[in-house]
Structure 1
Amino acid sequence: MKKQIEGTPWPLQRVLLDELWQDTKGKGVRVAVIDTGVDDVNPQLKQAVDAKAGKDYLKPDKKNPGFGDELRGKTDGTVDEVGHGTKVAGIIAARPRPGTGFVGLAPEATIIPIRQNDEKNSGKSDTMAEAIKWAVAKGAHVINISQDTTQPLDADSPMAKAIALALSKQIVVVASAGNDGMDGSLKKTYPAAFPGVLAVASSDRNNERAAFSQSGTFVGVAAPGVDVVSTVPGGGQCVDNGTSFSAPYVAGVAALLRAKYPEWTAAQIVTRIEQTAVRPVKGRDNHVGWGVVDPVRALADTPGTPPSSPTPDPGPPKPPAPEPARLALSETPQERSERLATYTLGIGVVLVAVVAGTAIVIRDSRRRREAR
């Protein structure tokens, strides 16, 4: 068993938990974790996992020395030979425990453990489709899928049809965007890129895209995915990185919203998460979608019926249209009167000078004639 991490993880340091939980902690909400299984031995998950509703689509590895015979025979999804699914579940619904500052975002939600993959990537898209349908049958309100494939899947694929079934039941489906984003190229991953699925990228401590996080036109939001603390099989916690751990952060927020607003549609919950995210731009971009999730802001009271799709933030108010310029003389009436008076005076002076000059010319002309 790993040692407990005493301090509060940085993603939780940014959340005022008392304010986040003032209305609900997710009680009554069922979150299906379709992953590598969810360990129900870890003390922080023991009361969170509904093993009776779980399902194992793989056979536990009999060669794994870390698991006894009593675990190898379990088929309820509570065997996690990798630890991945246990981390995912902890971020969503880990119960508080003395000696650690780590706790799930929705610490009263219930986890439905569904084991569909392992360290050998034995899970297939068709098996994922069956796992999604199982989650629907077991009353999931939120489904978290921290797995992806870049293989294109069309609307007729079994996984697409299973996703469509879940959405038709108003189940919020959250999926990781993938960790192949180092080259910066845009590409789709599935099931995250299916319409209606909330695709989650990873952000770092600066609310910027983590270097590994896959970018694309399908990205809905981002959430902490660097140095993330969560539960591990047997007990204790560890630190890990990846969009796999960003998705459950968002799924936890979705669980709280479902508990607070049970009448909302899945699309309205998704929109609420996207609309209240902290945005680096006025709209969305291909790196962090509509922004980095803000749990407290998402859970804040909102009047009226929420929209079913996000909208860009309004820009600064437009300045009023300029009025046609008024052409005016560059002098006042008084200045004009003074100018005309000056003209009159000037003309008078000129006339006097002309008369005087003419008189002098006549006088001089007379004197010259007399002198002859």
Structure 2
Amino acid sequence: MRHTRLPLLRTAAAAALLTVPVVLAPPSAAADSFSGQCEYPNAPYPGRPWSLQRVQLDELWSQSKGKGVRVAVIDTGVDVRNPQLKDAVDVKSGRNFLPKGLKDEDGDPIERGNENGTTDTVGHGTKVAGIIAARPADKTGFVGLAPEATIIPIQQNDAEGHGDTDTLAASIRHAVQAKADVINISQDTSDAAEPAPDLEAAVNEALEQEIVVVASAGNDGAGGNVKKTYPASYEGVLAVAASDRNNERASFSQSGDFVDVAAPGVDMISTVPRGGHCSDNGTSFSAPYVAGVAALIKAKHPDWTQRQIVAQIEQTAERTVAGHDRLVGWGVVDPVRALTEDDRPIESPRPREGLVKAEAPAAAEFPLGETADERNARLATYVAVGAAILVAGLGGTAVAIRDARARARGTGVRRGRTAT
């Protein structure tokens, strides 16, 4: 689903950084439904989405289901009318930061929604929340990665892009007050504009409270475009790119040195307002995949710091090069490894560990069928037998010469005289 980017608000001097719009990162190619146009409500998705098929869910959930962990979804709201989200959302902690009295281009009032952030006319935030914590349900194989985590719904943006960096900063601060353990932000500033310092200050306040802050890297990476996006590129934020079914960077996913990890972001099935499911593309749906993993780790290791949780996700990601690259960061997130290779917390990922690398073929062995001692004994036998044959041969030659001489003497022929 594409959303219009609003023009940047800049001073003539261009040096002063003002409030700028934040946008719901639009996908490179929309995929609104798994079967035709997405409607609200929509039909339930009958199978298990590919992004979950790649995970051994039973093994994952034997370690953690995210129970007791609170995840703030700062987005377009979370529609609790979807049955899979009804019991996943803390309605009392929700908040709506959209300004009142909004009107569209025709001057008609724009539906703002409930004050507690539990309505969603766009569907974006409801999809994000479902990837994190949707409860299991009949007639569908879709479920959130952390199905016992709790969602804090914070409505801060809409399809027209009325959210800005001021409302985003206020939303982050509300998440801190609401005791969030993880914050998901599937948005970035319009045209990658660097916002006023207050947004970074709000992010730092959350980090100081040991809250894991996850943000989408953005979807303007087609053609190898490299640039920073905000708030994903702030220090301490876990920036998430999108990967495809081959565990490679999705073509639209934003690249840059700030990218920390990648996660599935293509053909992502999730919950939609009023019930059912739809499909969508974008780093907007990669970020909550990682936020769900963070919630699982937090539930299993409640004493770990936000930095340790982030390092654990980075360390256990699947990568094919040593260290970090600008396409997928430390690699594609592996939820099971993140929850099982966790003997002790780490502060930063180790480049050489966890590297997936093809092994060189071993040299073929020549099959002698005997040990070294057996081979030495065999060679010694060859020498001994050869010597015996040689001796026997020399002895036989001497006997033959002797016999020949004896026969010559027995003929009666005498040299120098003729018989008469």
TM-score, with structure 1 as normaliser: 0.80
Which one of 176, 190, 193 corresponds to residue 151 of structure 1? Answer: 193
Aligned to 1:142: 182
Select which of 267, 279, 292 maps to 2:307. Answer: 267
**Shift in CA distance, 60/222, structure 1 to aligned 2, threshold 3 Å:** farther
The 1:60–1:225 alpha-carbon spacing in structure 2 relative to 1, beyond 3 Å, is: farther
**2:205 aligned counterpart, secondary structure:** helix
Q: Which residue of 1 aligns with 2:212?
A: 172
Match of residue 35 from structure 1: 75
Name the counterpart of 1:53. Answer: 93
Residue 346 of structure 2 is matched in structure 1 by 307
SS at match of 1:207: coil
1:75 to 111, 115, 122: 115
The alignment partner of 2:284 has SS state of helix
Q: Which residue of 2 aligns with 1:107?
A: 147
CA distance in 1, matches of 2:75, 2:65: 23
Task: List aligned pairs for 1:154-233, cutoff 5 A.
Answer: 157-233=197-273
Question: Contact 1:60/1:79 (CA < 8 Å) preserved in 2?
Answer: no
Runs of 4+ more than 3 Å apart: 59-64
Within the candidate set 58, 61, 77, 1:21 is matched to 61
What amino acid is the match of 1:26? G
1:9 partnered with 2:27? no
Q: CA deviation at 1:303?
A: 2.2
Report the Cα distance in structure 1 between the residues aligned to 2:268 and 2:48, rounded to whole angstroms. 11
For residue 215 of structure 2, give the secondary structure of its aligned residue in structure 1.
strand
TM norm structure 2: 0.71
| Residues in 1 aligned to 2:113 and 2:179: alpha-carbon distance in whole angstroms | 25
Measure how far apart 1:63 and its partner are.
7.8
Asked whether the 8 Å contact 1:200–1:219 carries over to 2, the reply is yes
CA distance in 2, matches of 1:180, 1:107: 31
Distance 1:153 1:47 in 2: 36
- 1:283 matched to which residue of 2? 323
Q: Which residue of 1 aligns with 2:296?
A: 256
Q: CA deviation at 1:113?
A: 0.3
Aligned pair partner of 1:121 in 146, 149, 161 = 161
* Alpha carbons of structure 1 residues 63 and 187: separation in structure 2 relative to 1, 3 Å: closer
**Structure 1 residues 250 and 61 mapped into 2: Cα distance closer, same or farther (>3 Å)?**
farther
Measured against aligned partners, the alpha-carbon deviations of 1:313-357 in whole angstroms (never above 9, x if no partner) come to 1589xxxxxxxxxxxxxxxxxxxxxxxxxxxxxxxxxxxxxxxxx
2-side partners of 1:274 and 1:311: how far apart? 9
Tell me the distance in 2 between the aligned counterparts of 1:271 and 1:83: 31
Counterpart secondary structure, 1:139: coil
| Residues 83 and 61 (structure 1), Cα distance of their counterparts in 2 relative to 1, 3 Å cut | farther
Equivalent residue number for residue 350 of structure 1: none
Distance, in Å, in 2 between the alignment partners of 1:205 and 1:301 is 24
CA contact (8 A) 1:167 1:196 kept: yes
Task: Please tell me the residue identity of whatever aligns with 2:241.
Answer: A
Q: Distance in 1 between matches of 2:101 and 2:133?
A: 27
Q: 2-side partners of 1:112 and 1:197: how far apart?
A: 19
Equivalenced residue count is: 308
- CA 1:193/1:73 → structure 2, altered by over 3 Å: closer, same or farther? closer
Q: Secondary structure at 2:188's aligned position in 1? A: coil
Unaligned runs of 5+ in 1: 317-372
Aligned residue in 1 for 2:19: none
- Structure 2 partner of 1:338: none
Give the structure 1 partner of residue 285 of structure 2. Answer: 245
Mapped partners of 1:27, 1:280: distance in 2: 33
**Does 103-112 or 51-60 show the bigger shift?**
51-60
Question: C-alpha root-mean-square deviation of aligned residues, in Å?
Answer: 1.8
Tell me the CA shift for residue 181 of structure 1. 0.5
Paired letter, 2:182: V
Q: Secondary structure at the match of 1:90?
A: helix
Structure 2 counterpart of 1:336: none
| Cα offset, 1:311, TM superposition | 2.0
Instruction: Give me the identity figure in percent.
Output: 65
CA distance in 2, matches of 1:78, 1:62: 18
Change beyond 3 A, Cα 1:163–1:63: closer
Please report how far the alpha carbon of residue 302 of structure 1 lies from its aligned counterpart in structure 2 after TM superposition. Answer: 2.3
Change in 2 beyond 3 A, CA 1:61/1:244: farther
Secondary structure of the residue that 1:242 maps to in structure 2?
A: coil
